[in-house]
């Protein structure tokens, strides 16, 4: 869902006579002023959608890894898995590569990770070459590699700690 669609949904959900005037006008001229007023509502809405992301990710556990795969029937690679989860759970369109995903949203420190955050790793001698979705309790879900299936792993295992590159929290307004 793009920001304007989310914005309209929020307006309709919390409508009052003053919001009716906003709806009937050209939203592009109102975006800057209204966005600052609605930021707490958008954050609350986003936070309430995190379980949808986590549930959709868990639904896909056991599906095989396939390089370039982008659907459950054929399998997923890591970035297409993340892209698919966010599209199915929230109708957000994200870019198709781990590196491009790493440039979206807000950078998050390891100790500040929250469920729904994206976690990145250097698994191919290249920064941000692998991505997963943090699910809480030091665990993340991902599509690991050829011959494996989508699964949950512990971030504090030595293998993942050594390769951890960072994390981001997706901003729904940044979706494609």
Q: Of the listed 81, 142, 160, 172, which one is catalytic?
A: 142
Specify whether 78 is catalytic.
Answer: yes
Q: Which of 58, 72, 70, 111 is nearest to 94 (CA)?
A: 70
Of residues 120, 129, 130, 175, which has the active-site annotation?
Answer: 130
Alpha helix stretches (DSSP H) within the chain: 3-13, 17-24, 27-59, 78-90, 98-102, 158-163
Catalytic residue among 11, 78, 113, 133: 78
Query: What is the torsion angle, in degrees rounded to the nearest 10, for the CA atoms of residue 80, residue 82, residue 87 and residue 93?
Result: -80
Clarify whether 142 is annotated catalytic.
yes
Residue 83, SS3 per DSSP:
helix
Active site residues: 78, 130, 142
């Amino acid at each position: 869902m793009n920001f304007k669609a989310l914005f309209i949904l929020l307006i309709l959900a919390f409508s009052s006579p003053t919001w009716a005037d906003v709806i009937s006008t050209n939203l592009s001229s109102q975006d800057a002023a209204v966005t600052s007023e609605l930021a707490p509502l958008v954050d609350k809405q986003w936070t309430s959608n995190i379980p949808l992301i986590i549930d959709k990710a868990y639904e896909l556990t056991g599906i095989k890894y396939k390089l370039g795969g982008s659907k459950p029937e054929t399998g997923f690679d890591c970035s297409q898995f993340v892209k698919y989860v966010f599209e199915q759970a929230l109708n957000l369109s994200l870019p198709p590569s781990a590196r491009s995903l790493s440039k979206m949203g807000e950078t998050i420190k390891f100790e500040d990770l929250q469920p729904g955050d994206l976690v990145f790793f250097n698994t191919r001698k290249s920064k941000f070459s692998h991505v997963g979705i943090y699910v809480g309790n030091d665990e993340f879900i991902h599509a690991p590699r050829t011959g494996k299936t989508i699964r949950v792993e512990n971030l504090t295992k030595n293998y993942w700690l050594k390769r951890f590159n960072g994390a981001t929290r997706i901003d729904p307004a940044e979706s494609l």
